[in-house]
Every structure is written in C-alpha cells, then in structure tokens.
Structure 1
C-alpha cells in the first residue's frame, strides 16, 4: 500500500500565525505582513496564513503520521492562547503542557532541524565509507570481486566501491525516500518533549513594542553573549524562545512566571528571530515601525554589519 502523503505542510502553525493577523479586506481571511530576510528591500504584500511558511513535502514519506502528531498539539492551542490573552496561562495545568509542546513542535518541525539532520547524515555517511576502506580493505576487495569481477587495487577504486555499498544500504535508501526523516523527526519530537518537561514556562510581554515571528520560530538561545548566540544544541542553551502573539513570548525557564521585559530585550529577541529565519519573518500588518526594524536588521545582517538598534551587538557567527 502506498504511504499516505500530504504535500503542503506548514512549519509555523496557522493557529499561531493567526495571532499576528488582522482581518483581510477580501475573501482571503486574516492576513499577516511578511518580510523577506534574504531580500529585505523587496516589498511584500499581505498574505493569508495559509499562504505562509509552508514547504512542499517537508516530510516526504507517510506525512499523515507526522501530521497526526503535530495536530495532537495544535488542536489544543486555541484554548491555551485564550488563557494567555486572559493573563491566566497557569490556571489550568493542561494549558502549560500545551504551550510547552508548542515550543517543542516548532523547534523540531523546522528548516533548522532538517538542515541539522541532513548534515549529520552526510557526515556519518562519509565517516562510514572512510572507515570501511581504512579498516576492512581486504573484505572490501573480495566483495568487489564477487559483485563486479574486478580486482580493485587503488585506494580511489576501493573508496568508490565503498560509496556504492553505502548507497545501496537500507539506511541510505530510507534517507532518499524520506522514511528515515519521518522516523527521526517524530522521535526527536518525543525526546525534546521529555527534556522540556523538566523546564518551567515563562510568558513574557514587552513593556513597549511588539514581537515578530520567523519561519524558524522556536530558537535555542544563550543570553551570556551580545548579541545572543542561538541555534546551539538544547543542552548548551539557556532557553528556547517562541513568540506566539505580537505581545506574548514563550520561553523555557526555571519557574512558571508571567512577566514584562524592557524594549531592548524585546529588540534582542526580534533580532534573533530575523537572523534565525530561513526566508521570512511575519508581523501584524499595522506594525509599520517593526517592519522597518526587520528590513534594516536583515539588510545589515546580510551585509555582515551590526544592527543599529543594538549599539553593543557584534556579529557572533556568519549565517550560512
């Protein structure tokens, strides 16, 4: 039986993006303002949430299984968001679990995780091929003779045959079909979810201004550098942050709190969203000043310069 497949897969939940929208003037429904961080000078029209942050066949094999997992979190989100808007996110324990799961969901179902997964697989594949050639040259020659009838002498020939064996392996075949990625991403969700259960939840609001949200929205951060470093392994991070509305940010922390943060800290969080984004950041359509902030920050980031909004910031790493 052919595995079920859903082609248009949203990486940022529509239920989350809708928190950043206003009603549209036509039949497209609520709309959000995107800014292209790769081409910050390019004007962007308002878009419906359905048209934003989706990838064709992100999970390319049996995606219905992954979608069921994501939906188990997303269908609980509206009630949790209502509790956040009401200022009572901790009144019902299940809302805390839902909000924490939203962080985990957006951390795992992301461009960033897929890049890490792909790079890790390629690194392991090269290492396996090298070890086979280095540790088992004679068995490799015998297998080459059995399969091809050729006596391989040079190291280059052995390396090429080892690559052929790696390509023929079940693991590599599953990598090619996407079956391995689906298994990996579902397993990673459950592992990170278990790790996050040991953290408490912070619900933070800015004293002034608004948050934007990127298409890699749940970001690991360390706050002991300026600017903040980000996208490190969870074990090396101080928190994972996720904007969920223009006025609310979720962060994993040491205790459950509802708190306000100064404008400078909000700017730092927005800059992390811009730098961590794969292509777009999104904001409320009427956030004119925030749009200017996003475009200028992205422009200077891509040019390798410092954002003028943080005088003390300095570039900590090159982006791709």
Structure 2
C-alpha cells in the first residue's frame, strides 16, 4: 500500500529549529522568533517550530518517499548534535557523517534548489524549441500537417507548434506534476552527498553574539571577499555553512576542527542567512538580533531594487 502524501513538509529540520527556542509564556511551549525579511517592518510574534521552516507540497508527488530519505538523516541528528554540545563531535566517525549529511540535506532541500530546478527546465525548454525550429523545420511541418491538417510556413507558427509539442511531452507533464522535481531532488541529494564525502566538518562557535538561521539555511560561501559572496555553485565555494543553533555552526572544510570565530565573522554569516533567505529567518527570542536582521532586510530590499 502506497504511503499517504505529506502536504506540509519542513525544509528546515525541526531538530535544528528547536535549538533556537526557549519556553514560551503561559505554557505556550518552546518558541523562537521569526522575521519576514521581505517585510522587515512587519511586527513579529514568537512561534513554535511546527509553524516555521516548512512549505506546502514542496515535493508534490510521492512525498512519502523523499520524506523517508530525509528521515534517514534527521533521525540520527539528535545524537550528533548532542555530541557537538558536549564538545566531542569527532569522537564518533558516524557523528561526522551525520553532520555532513545534515549540511547536504539542507543545501538540496531548499527553496533555492527548487528555483534552480524550475529555471533550468525553462532554459532547456526554450533552447529545445529553438533547436527544433532551426534544425528540423521540415519534420515539424510534416508533423503539424499530420496532427492539425495545416500547412505551417511562417517561422512564428512553426515555433508555436514546437512549443505545443514540448508542452505535450512526457517530460513536461512530469515537470508540471512535480514528479520530475521529486526525482531530481533525490538524485541531486545523492550526488552532492557523494561530492561532499571528501570534505570534513568544521564546528564554529561565536566569540560573542549568536547565529541565526534562514529558511534557505545551508548556503555556499566564499570568504575571500568582504562581504562574503554566496550562492555560487558547489564546486566554486570555499564551504557550505549551516547554523545548527545560536552557539554552533557547521562548515564543510578540509579538516575536522572546532574553533571560535570573531563577532565580525558571525555578523557576515548572519548577513548571508538574511540575504539568502526565501522569506524568513529564525532566531532565539533573546538573541538581541532583531534590529540587526531588520536593518539587513532593508538593505536586501534596496539592493534588489537597484539591480
């Protein structure tokens, strides 16, 4: 029997979001502070983790399959995170593997990846339409005559017919249904996981201040620029960073290490989280970061208007 579809899917693991929580007042449970970076002046209120970091029908088809893949990592995360908090993340090689997989999972299972997937499909479709009309005009005319009874001669009508063929193809139908995305995200996770297997895990802690986490939490960065550049291709990055709590951040690097980083680096990483977010960033209610985030969100808006 096929497992039921799961509509509400967390893109930021609840096990990570819980690290940014504190007990709410009046028995409200554990809560964190979300800020809408697309509307930085909007008042905010504390929320529980179930209400944060999720998307409806992110994987629209056979979501139970991909959720099981994510669970194979997330179910092992609590023990690895406990080792981080205990100051011994490298004592067990399995913890290192889980922490690295946690970074990869959040890099792939993201709003950013879905946007890349949709953009790549659209680019490929446009290129294919151009190639069909340029390289196979006679075949298109014969197929149009066979299907419609019309003799198409104008370039525009041939292009429109080519677009119709593409829209009716199995690949396009799989894209529209979400099946192509489900297959793509699973394959990409396995590919990036294999690529990242040669990297080690750095656990970074702030000398002062706290980390926050965005809803695109695992971000590729280069640190040879100020401010840090981000969202480049995996192979062009110095690291992928993932905040796992106010006091800890994972970064893929050449060797396993624990280190403290100065406040300036913490601010750079938090800025990247704000700029790379799809809509929200999340922080500990007592982090003192609300003013910082709202200022960076306004800067993000201004930068996008001026592009």
Match of 2:302?
Answer: 303
- Do the aligned partners of 1:12 and 1:215 also contact (CA within 8 Å) in 2? yes
Q: Secondary structure at the match of 2:32?
A: strand
Q: Quick one: distance in 2 between partners of 1:177 and 1:2? A: 18
Q: Secondary structure at the match of 1:282?
A: strand
Q: Secondary structure at the match of 1:39?
A: coil
- Do the aligned partners of 2:209 and 2:287 also contact (CA within 8 Å) in 1? no
Segment drifting more, 184-193 vs 20-29: 20-29
Match of 1:189?
Answer: 189
Q: TM-score, normalised by structure 1?
A: 0.93
Q: TM-score, normalised by structure 2?
A: 0.97
Q: Quick one: distance in 2 between partners of 1:112 and 1:68? A: 21
Deviation, 1:2, is 7.5
Cα RMSD (Å): 1.4
Deviation string 1:266-303 (CA, Å, 9 cap, x unpaired) is 10000000000001100001112x11111111112212
Q: Secondary structure at the match of 2:165?
A: helix
Deviation string 1:135-172 (CA, Å, 9 cap, x unpaired) is 00000000000000000010000000000100111000
Deviation, 1:29, is 2.1
Match of 1:291?
Answer: 290
4+ runs of 1 displaced by more than 3 Å?
Answer: 1-4, 317-320
- Do the aligned partners of 2:34 and 2:44 also contact (CA within 8 Å) in 1? yes
Stretches of structure 1 that go unaligned for 5 or more consecutive residues are 305-316
Q: Secondary structure at the match of 1:101?
A: helix
Assess, with a 3 A threshold, how the Cα gap between structure 1 residues 188 and 81 changes in structure 2: closer, same or farther: same
Q: Secondary structure at the match of 2:59?
A: coil
Match of 1:282?
Answer: 282
Q: Secondary structure at the match of 1:47?
A: coil
Match of 1:166?
Answer: 166
Q: Quick one: distance in 2 between partners of 1:39 and 1:130? A: 40
Q: Quick one: distance in 1 between partners of 2:99 and 2:60? A: 27
Aligned residue runs from structure 1 range 1-320, under 5 A = 4-288=4-288, 290-304=289-303
Deviation, 1:23, is 1.3
- Do the aligned partners of 1:4 and 1:61 also contact (CA within 8 Å) in 2? no
